Structure 1
Amino acid sequence: MRNYLGDDALKETIESFLQSNRNRNNNYDCILALSGGRDSTYLLYYIRKVLNLRVLSYSVDNGFIPYQTKQNLKNMADILNVKLVIEKNENLSKCIKHHFLSFIHKPSAPMIGLLCTGCRLMVTMFDDFVERSKVPVIISGGNPMDTTTSFKTLIMAQNPNILKENSLLLGYLFEAIKNPRWLLNYTCFVTQFKEYYFHFRPQKKFKNILDIAPYYDYIKWDEKKVVSTIKNELGWEENMDAQSSWRGDCDIALLKLYLYKKMLGFNDRDEALSYLIRDGQISRDEALERLEKEGNIHEKKIKSILDSIGLKLSDLKIALETSKI
Structure 2
Amino acid sequence: MDICSQCILPGGQAGVALDEKGVCNHCRNHEPVAIQGEEKLIRILEVVHNNAVKYDCIVNISGGRDSAYTLLALVRDYRMKVLAVNYANPFTDPQATKNIANMVRILDVDFVQFELKNNIHERILRNNILAWFKNPTPALVPAICIGCKIIWPTILKIARKNRIKCIVNGGNPYEYSTFKKVLLGVTDNANLKSTYLKNVKGLVKETLKNAHYLKPKFILTTIKGYLFSNPYALGSRLISGKLTFLDLFHYIPWKEDEVLERIQEELGWDYPRDLDSSWRFDCRIAHLKDYMYLKTLGITEKDDFYAKMIREGMIERDEAIQRVSKENKLHLNLIHDLFSQLSIDSINLENELYQ
| TM-score of the alignment, normalized to the shorter chain, above 0.5 | yes
CA drift at 1:276: 1.1
- Cα distance between partner residues in 2 of 1:170 and 1:77: 39
Q: Deviations over 1:216-240 (max 9, x none)?
A: 12x1111111111111111101134
More off after superposition, 108-117 vs 58-67: 108-117
Q: Deviations over 1:135-156 (max 9, x none)?
A: 2232222211123x53123223
Structure 2: any 5+ residue segments left out of the alignment?
Answer: 1-31
Change (3 A) 1:56 1:233: same
Superposition pairs for residues 1-325 of structure 1, below 5 Å? 2=34, 5-6=37-38, 10-19=41-50, 26-89=53-116, 90-147=119-176, 150-157=178-185, 165=197, 169=201, 172-177=204-209, 179-183=210-214, 185-199=215-229, 201=234, 203-204=237-238, 206-217=240-251, 219-240=252-273, 242-312=275-345, 315-321=348-354, 324=355
Q: State the AA in 2 paired with 1:114.
A: A
- Cα distance between partner residues in 2 of 1:201 and 1:4: 24
- Cα distance between partner residues in 2 of 1:170 and 1:314: 27
Any idea what SS the aligned residue of 1:52 has?
coil
CA drift at 1:172: 3.6
Q: Deviations over 1:290-321 (max 9, x none)?
A: 11111223112111111111123853444444
> How does the TM-score come out when normalised to structure 1?
0.86
> How does the TM-score come out when normalised to structure 2?
0.79
CA drift at 1:105: 2.0
Any idea what SS the aligned residue of 1:144 has?
coil
CA drift at 1:38: 0.7
Any idea what SS the aligned residue of 1:145 has?
coil
Q: Which has the higher helix share?
A: 1
Change (3 A) 1:165 1:233: same
CA drift at 1:244: 0.9
CA drift at 1:4: 5.6
- Cα distance between partner residues in 1 of 2:245 and 2:49: 12
Indicate the RMSD between aligned Cα atoms, in angstroms: 2.7
Do 2:288 and 2:335's aligned partners in 1 also have CA atoms closer than 8 Å?
Answer: yes
- Cα distance between partner residues in 2 of 1:170 and 1:263: 18
Structure 1: any 5+ residue segments left out of the alignment?
Answer: none
Q: Percent identity?
A: 27
